Amino acid sequence: MLTDFLLASLHHLLVYGLVAMLVAEAALLRAPAPDAATVQRLARLDAGYGMTALALLLAGLARIGFGLKGHDFYAHNPWFWAKLGTFLLIGLLSLGPTLRYLRWRRALRDRPDAAVPVEDWTRARRQVRLQLALLALVFVFAAGMARHGGL
């Protein structure tokens, strides 16, 4: 029981951290045009976001393997698969902004007067907002999974 409690607690704390980092990225992307410091902050936040997402996935897998509900609860639960699929989709969508942040940071390091293309900035903003919307859907699927099991 203690293992289940600790894994659930870790899982939830990682979710809160993931949301906080993604919201912080979205807030930074609200600026009309970035400066070098903003790009640096975005790159750092995004690295934390990626590491937290990986830790969250591992904590979730640990809950499947070592939690009280067991593998069968998850394996036959369509809500779980919808949640996991949406989470993985968010991960794929996050690659676009990640690659942009790294490219911008490199460009600004090489040429401090370089400007981030407006269309790139706008695209990153849209992709982060889409990730936030899909993350809300993950929470809906999590509620369905916890309460309705295999339907």
Q: What's the domain range around 68?
A: 2-148
- Answer yes or no: is pLDDT of 149 > 80: no
DSSP string computed for 45-59: HHHHHHHHHHHHHHH
The pLDDT tens digits for 39-98 are 999 999 999 999 999 999 999 999 999 998 888 888 999 999 999 999 999 999 999 999
Question: Token pair of 151, please?
Answer: 């339907």
Residue labelled with tokens 């750092």? 44
Model-level pTM?
0.91
d(CA 21, CA 65): 27
CB 26 within 8 A of CB 125: yes
Considering its fold, how many domains does the chain have in total? 1
CB 83 within 8 A of CB 145: yes
